Structure 1
């Protein structure tokens, strides 16, 4: 479920734009991110505030699983903008890193794992 600063997350996965400081946005993706969360993830990634950020830092330290469809959504969001964001993914587990690489995110992002 997509959440916004100041809201209470539900029992499902958490997807937030945690901080936007100038050209830098910090996103937090946590929990079990599956295809059924794809629409919410795409809505979050389409937020106007993210379009203004030149750098995206994605904290995935609490992501337990990432579906390939969600990884592709992240790839599309980062690459289909008029100016591509610099994308850095932090804290991803090995299984999540494999999915990110399988989707091709390693070609456009720096992936810092655990």
Structure 2
């Protein structure tokens, strides 16, 4: 049995990494829409983030984020009131959606 004709798995939309347990990095890729919402919520509620005092969200490769996913980020950030959250490299249209959701009240959104 060969796998030549089987489609390759899509690149994950959400990954979470932590080096020391104190700092975590969330990387989002592609079009972050309702199809990615469940995976996003699962990753944001996972152990690496719940124990982190500071986390960054790398949005360099995000082409679009819908409001439901922006609200998921907001919920995760507010569940960790002492955590420092920084959004990195989001394009302007993504920044608008994040601000519309109110994420700028609990996170630093760095300009691209």
Q: TM-score, normalized by length of structure 1?
A: 0.84
Cα drift, residue 97 of structure 1: 0.2
Name 2:72's counterpart in structure 1: 73
Q: TM-score, normalized by length of structure 2?
A: 0.86
Taking only aligned residues, the RMSD between alpha carbons, in angstroms, comes to 1.7
After superposition, the C-alpha distances for 1:51-84 in whole angstroms (9 at most, x for unaligned) are 1101011100000000100000000011023x43
Cα drift, residue 113 of structure 1: 2.4
Cα drift, residue 14 of structure 1: 1.9
Instruction: State the SS of the aligned residue for 1:61.
Output: strand
How many residues get paired? 105
Runs of 4+ with >3 A deviation: none
Structure 1: gaps (5+ residues): 1-8
Question: Among 86, 89, 98, which residue is 1:88 paired with?
Answer: 86
CA–CA distance in 2 between the matches of 1:39 and 1:110? Answer: 24
Cα drift, residue 13 of structure 1: 5.1
Contact 2:13 2:36 in 1 (8 A): no
Structure 2: gaps (5+ residues): 1-7
Please say which structure displays the higher CA radius of gyration: 2
